[in-house]
Chain A
Amino acid sequence: MHGKGDQVSTSDYVDETAPSNSARIPAPAGKATSAPLMGRKSEPTIFEFSSPGRRAWSFRTTGIPEWEPQELVPARMLRDRPVDLVEVPERDLVAHVTRLTHRQYSVDLGAYPLGSCTMKYNPKVCDETASLPGLTGVHPAAPAGLCQGWLELLWGLTEALCEVTGMAAATLQPPAGAAGELTGLLLMRAWHASNGERRTKVIIPDSAHGTNPASVTLGGYETVTVPSDERGLVDMAALRSRLDGDVAGIMLTNPNTLGLFEEDIAEIAAAVHDVGGLVYYDGANLNAILGVTRPGDMGFDIVHMNLHKTFAVPHGGGGPGAGPVAVSERLAAFLPGPLPRRSENGSFEWHTPASSVGRVHAWHGNALALARAWTYILLNGGDGLRTVAQAAVLNSNWLRQRLRGFYDIPFDRPAMHEFVASASSLKKSKGIRALDVAKRMLEEGFHAPTVYFPLVVDEALMIEPTETESLETLSALADSLISIATEPPGEAALAPRSTPVGRVDEALAARRLQATWDAVLAGDGRTG
C-alpha cells in the first residue's frame, strides 16, 4: 500500500514515449483473472494478473494526517521511483489465492504417506484450543501472575513430554525439529565444556536424516558416519572402531529411517557412554514407540521431539512447528530458559537454569503450537498415546505385507511406523523408477511417498501410512501402488496427466534456477 492513497498515478508506470493508447489496453502481463482457470489448468503467477494502477483498496478518509515521504525521510534514503509491486484489485487477488488453495493436496484431503514426515490427520479440536481468546490474547511479556493458565499449560506439557521420553527436564523453546537438534548439540557442547573437555566429533549412522549432519556442523562438530549392517541397523563393530575420547556423542533415530528398531540400542548407549560421549535421540520417529518404550530407558541423554509429527501441530508449509528438547538429570542445568515451574504454594513461575546455554528462540517458543500438542496429549491420555503408536506400526506392517512381491522390500523384517520399499527391480525389468511411481500416485489421488531416501536404499520409496488412515484407505493405497507396479511399462513415465501441472523437468529447473519473476522475464527465450 502506498502511504497516501493513490498518490502514485498510472502515469508513473507507463512509458511516456509509447503510443498514446498504451495506457488503455491491458498491460502485457495482465491476464484475465475471471476467465475459467479452474480444473486442470496451471494457475498463472500473481505477476501475470498485474496491471498498472490497480489497487486492492484505499481508505477514503482515515482522519490521520498524511505526510509526503519527502517530509519524513531524508532524500538520500528515498527511492527515485516506486518499487515494482504487483498491482491487482482485491477481487483478483482473492480469486488467485483461492484457486491456489483448491489445487493443493493436504492432510485434510486424504492419505499422505510421505515417509519420515508423519503426515497424519490432526484433530480439529487442537486448532480450536489454540484459538481460545484466553490463550491468543496474552502478551508473552505479561507478568507470570497474569498468565497462570499459560504457565500451567506449558508446565503440564513439559511434565508430559518428560514422562513420554523418560527424561528429567525439558525446554519448549526450539521452534522446530532442526532447531531442537542444534539446541541438543549446544547442550552436548556445554556439558563437555563443564567437564573441561573440548571434543570434536559426533557419530551419525549412514541412514540418518540430512538435518543431523547439518546440525552437527552448525554446532561446531565434525560428522563421523557409521555404516548400517546387513540388518539395516547400526554396525556395532564399525561403531566401536570409531569410538574414542574425541567423540562428543552419537545421534540416533530409533526406530531408524529404515523403519527398523535399533535392537542393540542398550549396547550402543553403553559403548558411547564408556568413552564419555552422550547419546542423542532424534525424535523424528518417536510416534512409533509412544507409551511402549522410552528413550530415557534406552540410555539416551538428550531427546528432541517434533511435536507436529508425534502429536498434533500443522506441519509442512502450515507451521510453525515445535521442537522441544528433553534431557537427563545431569544436563538439566544447561537447558535454555526461562522454563515454567510450579512453586511451593502451587502457583507457576519462570526460572532459568543455573548454567543455561541461553535462549534459542524468542519468548517461550511457538506457544500456540505447544497448546495444540498439549490438547492432543490430554485428548488421548496415556493409554490413547500407546494406541497411536500401535496403530501406526500395524498400518505400516499391513501395507508392507500387501506390497511384498510387487516391490522390493530390502530389509524385510517387521517394521515400525514406516517401511522402505524399492523400485530397483521395477527399474531393471520395466524402466519404472521410484520417481515415476511417485508421479503416478498423484494421478491416483494420493500424495506421493518419500523417494530416494534413505540414501542407503537404491530407488527408495519410503512409506509411512500413519495411524489415522482407515483400513479402506490403506487398501486403496495398496491397490494403487500395486496397479502402478503391474501396469504396462511407459504409463508411469507420462504421469502425472491429471494434475494442473504435469511432469516438470526437475533437472533443468535446478540447473537454471529462476527464483524471481524478474529473472523469468530476463531469462525469457533462453530456457533451452
Chain B
Amino acid sequence: MNVPEHLRYTSDHEWARGDSDGVRIGITDYAQDSLGDVVFVQLPTPGRRVTAGESIAEVESTKSVSDIYAPIDGIVSEVNQELTDAPQRLNEDPYGEGWLCVIAPDGDSPLAPLMDADSYRGLIEG
C-alpha cells in the first residue's frame, strides 16, 4: 500500500496535507482498495463549518456506503467537483486528483494531532 511520507493520516483512513489555501483531505490508498470501485461521492457544501470527527461526506462503492469524517476543525473552503462526474478518481489517484475537499483550519497547527506516515503504516499493517 502506498503511504506517502509527506502526508498526515487519521485512523478512519483519511489523509490530510497543509496547502497554502488550507488543509486538503482525501482517502488513503488502503481505503480506496478496501472500498472497491467507487461509484458515487457526496461532497460537503463549501462554507460549511465542520468539527473533527464529524461526518462530512459519503463515498459509495459497489460494496458499501462509507462516511468520511472531518480530520480537523474548520470551514470547508473548496470541494473537488470533478468527483461528481468521475468518482473513479478516488480509486485511480487517491492522493492526487481524487482529493475530496479543502478545509480552512481553525487552529495554527491543525495537523499536529494526526498520525504520521509511520504510525499509519503501523495501523494498516498491524
A interface vs B, CB < 8 Å?
451-453, 455, 458, 506-507, 510-511
Contacts and interface: CB of A to CB of B under 8 A. Distances in A.
Nearest to A512: B39
B63, B64, B88, most chain A CB atoms within 10 A:
B63
A506 B34 contact: no
B2 interface: no
B109 interface: no
A506 B62 contact: yes
B37 interface: yes
Contacts of B60: 510
Contact of A510 (B34, B39, B64): B39
Contacts of B40: 510-511
Interface residues of B, number: 13
Is chain A's interface secondary structure helix, strand, loop, or mixed overall?
Answer: mixed
Nearest to B85: A511
A507 B63 contact: no
B63 A458 contact: no
Contacts of B62: 506-507, 510
Contacts of A506: 37, 62
Interface of B: 34, 36-40, 60-64, 87-88
Contacts of B87: 511
- Lowest 10 A-B CB distances belong to which pairs? A507-B37, A510-B39, A452-B63, A506-B62, A511-B39, A507-B62, A455-B64, A507-B39, A452-B64, A510-B62
A452 B35 CA distance: 10
25 contacts: A451-B63, A452-B36, A452-B63, A452-B64, A453-B64, A455-B64, A458-B34, A506-B37, A506-B62, A507-B36, A507-B37, A507-B38, A507-B39, A507-B61, A507-B62, A507-B88, A510-B37, A510-B39, A510-B40, A510-B60, A510-B62, A511-B39, A511-B40, A511-B87, A511-B88
Contacts of B38: 507
Contacts of A452: 36, 63-64
A507 B88 CA distance: 9
A302 B50 CA distance: 36
A48 B9 CA distance: 52
Given A451-B63, A510-B37, 17 more contacts: A452-B36, A452-B63, A453-B64, A455-B64, A506-B37, A507-B37, A507-B39, A507-B61, A507-B62, A507-B88, A510-B39, A510-B40, A510-B60, A511-B39, A511-B40, A511-B87, A511-B88
